[in-house]
Structures are given as structure tokens and as C-alpha cells.
Chain A
């Protein structure tokens, strides 16, 4: 029993990340201002925030590129924010990272890029060759090993970067805006690849992003960052069904607005936007809630737009944008009744 547990820890399959009251300032700017998070193992965890919310600093702190001013970072039970130099370098070798701009070595071809992390830990040449071929195959670039980096497309570059990040069998893969420089289709294929790799290798993936689509499509849990703090955290399906903070709601509204043309597009019946956003989740999408309320109260709804989104590829979240007829009191009672029935209601701010 002991042996098997030790084996699993060495393989790092159950690597969990914990952050305790992390702080990092640059001059008077508090980039990360007291963040505590627990990132469970073996899933895809999203960290979303607008630019300047502190995402980049946070990822530099948890990927051990920078030390916090205050607070602690744990990988499992091991505290990693205060490691000595040699230990720090050894620890970084167990962590993979991909970037918005790929950051590939232009002096090396695709295969040589993937070989780099193996070279620096002194892997024998023959072993490197076999492992590189295997990794390139995994990311779907089995025949492009000899290609100079400049001849690859953005998506192919990110695939090489993913293969490079996975070379040393990391416990954790950090993706820092990994799809932000890619077009929607390429983003889609990269996300699918990451999801497949997460399942195959059982690693913990942390996705730092400003794109709610990324969170919706691949993340299991998400933390919403604003002003260097976590304003909301939870399973992605909960966040989509019941967003609490204004920042989250704003992210979701962008998603509705920008999604036209994709599969989950909102159907617009009217060019006017409704006053209320209703979000239905799971079973509530199957029930005739609106007509039930109309029957009960005699108050009508005017549906402006609506649609269904798949979150995490499984759970469906329905969204309706409506106007509610009647006086303000009547509207309030309808909203109360909707909430009773498990619908999440937001009032649109008219500006």
C-alpha cells in the first residue's frame, strides 16, 4: 500500500495547488492582492480576468517564475514559494507552461524545440529522439519535426509548445492566454487537444484567460479575478447559471454578444434588448416556467432573444432575454417567483 501511494505521488497524478493569501506589488500597484485558492488535481481550472486584473502576475507566482511578497504556494503538501535555487530548478522541471506568443526557440526546428527540456535534464540522445517523436505524434505533428518554427502556423506553433511543455511528464500544465493569439477555429482545436491530454495524462491544467469561451468549453472550475482579488470561484456550470459578481456577469454578457455565428448562438427576435436576463440550468430548461408564471399571475413576457449553451461540453445553460410586462411591483413579484423556481435572474442596466 505504501509503495503504491508513493508511486502515485512521484508520478504526480494527484497534484493539487493551494495558494494562501498571495500578494505581489510593483511599486504602488498591488497586482495580486491577497489571493487564496485551492486548485483541485486532475481537472482543468480556469482563471479569468480582464487585462490588469492580476492574472499574469498570479501565473508567474504559481509557476515559480517569481516570488510573492507575502503568502504561500503549495503543490500538494510541499511549500514551493520559498525553495532554494537548485530545488526551485528541479521543481520547475515538473511544471509545464505554454504562452500566448508560443515562445518557441527560433534557432531550433520543431523537434529540437520539443527536445530542449529533455536535453537540459541530461536525457540520453536515443531516448530523446523516441520521446520527441511520440510527443509530436500526440499533438498531431508527427511529420513536421524538421520544420523551422517560422514555417508553422499559429496553431501548429502552439502544438509544438504543448509537446515541449509535456516532454518531462509534468504534474501541472499552465496555459497563459494560450489561445488568445489564435483564430476561433484554431482555438477550438487547441482546446480540444488540451482536454484530450488532460484526460490521457491525468494532469492538472490551469488556464489563465480573458476569454469566457475558453472557460465554457474546457474548464471544470473557474476563479474570476478582479483588481488582484478573487471575486468568484466555483464549478463552471454554477458560475454560468448563477453569476454573482458584476465582473462575471459582464464576461457572460460578452459571450452572448460575441457568439453570433457559432453553434450556440442567441436567436434575436428583436433589435431591442430586454430588461431581464434569465438563466436556466439543467432540468429548469425542460419546464414551461414562463407560461406557468403567466398563467399564475396574468403577466406576460416579451422574449427578445434566447439560446442554449453547452458548458464544459455537457451541462446545458439556457439564456433568455425578456421584458416583463406590468408595473414595477408586478415585475418584482414575477422575478421573485422565477427565482423560487430555480431561475437565475439579472436586471439589465440600461445605459
Chain B
């Protein structure tokens, strides 16, 4: 392969990394409060600190609908929003919008599940000491759930690497785009192979780092 092709691969990798980085960031910003809200408004027996059954079931439904929505269709539906926020619906920056929104409900569930693992007795103790709900979330629930939260974020990043490759198919750029345009449409199997290997390596790195970090947090307890 020529130097030009390698440069192309390098640029695509950078695009993928920036897409994944920013969409992870924004999906966390959207998903974290949503996850905390899902957990907090849940049933008291499951640790809900401000049980609100109606709000909880509405939120839960919305999250489920968004999660089961095929990503490609969600992306197309969100073109107008990308145009509004970024000014265009094509390219790496524009793809971050649907990626973030698609991943947010996933993040919310991941966070909710991690918080549910926190011993309700510990929350009860914090409440008995006169913690406000905000203090319970920030100083008890999130630190106590941190190892699971770290694993959850790693899982989110991995999903987003997959989604970002898919986003390439409709003009998002990145390794997925490269694999389709050069590898598939121009019969360049070698480029396709390199793109896929890079994606696999990225996933593996995130998984290993996530596991190590989570394990180290647990070991310190």
C-alpha cells in the first residue's frame, strides 16, 4: 500500500477516535443525569431515594424506545438536529450528534444498573446521618458504584466504536467509511482488512484498560 493510503488510514483513525471521544463525552453528559434519575425515582425496595412511579415508568419507556430504535434510522431522523447544531449533516462533527443521542439511553441504563448494585443499607445510613438527596448521589452512590461505572463506560465506548463505524456508511467519515468506500466499493480488501483490524485493536484496548481500572478501584477497598 502506498504512503497516500496509509495517510488516509491514519486520518480515518483520527476521525474515528474524535467521533468516539466526543460522543462518549456527550452521551455521558446526557446519560448520567438520566441514569441517576431512573434509579432515584425507582421503587424504594430497589434503592430509589425519591420514588416517583409515574415519572419513572415514562422515563423508562422513552429509554427503551430510543434503545430499540435502529441506529441508521435514528441518524437519518436526526439530520435536521445535526444541521441545527453543527451547520451540516455530513462529516465527523455532524455524526457526533446522533451518536451521542443514540448512546445516551444506553448510558442511562448502564448507570442505573451500576447504582442498583450499591448496598441499600449504606444509602439508608447516609440518609439517617442527614444527607440531602444530592449528597447521597454525589458522595455515596457514585463513589460506591465507581468500579461498575467504569466498566459501564468502557462498554459504552466499545458500543460507540461499533456505531461510529456504521455512521461511516452515511457520510460520517472514519474507519467505517474507509472500509466501505475503499474496501468494499473499490474492491480493496487490504484496506478493509486494515480498517477492521484497527477497530478490533481499539475495542481491545478499551476493554483491557476498563477492566484494569475497575479492578484497581476494587482492590483499593
Contact = CB atoms under 8 A, between A and B. Distances in A.
Contacts of A64: 128
6 contacts: A65-B127, A92-B128, A101-B121, A103-B119, A120-B135, A120-B139
A116 B221 contact: no
Interface of A: 63-65, 89-93, 95, 97, 99, 101, 103-108, 116-117, 119-121, 148-150, 164-165, 168
B3 interface: no
A157 to B, nearest CB: 12
B203 interface: no
Given A89-B132, A120-B135, A149-B221, A107 B127 contact: no
Q: Which has the most chain A C-beta neighbours within 10 Å: B125, B132, B139?
A: B125
A149 B119 CA distance: 14
Nearest to A118: B129
Given A105-B143, A106-B144, A97 B221 contact: no
B130 A107 contact: no
Interface size grouping (class) on chain B: 20 to 34
A274 B132 CA distance: 58
Q: Which of A92, A97, A99, A103 has most B Cβ within 10 Å?
A: A103
A149 B221 CA distance: 6
Nearest to A63: B128
Given A105-B143, A106-B144, A116 B129 contact: yes
Contact of B130 (A92, A99, A149): A92
A92 B129 contact: yes
B122 interface: yes
A111 B37 CA distance: 30
Nearest to B123: A103
B4 interface: no
A117 B129 contact: yes
Contacts of B81: none
B59 interface: no
Nearest to A117: B129
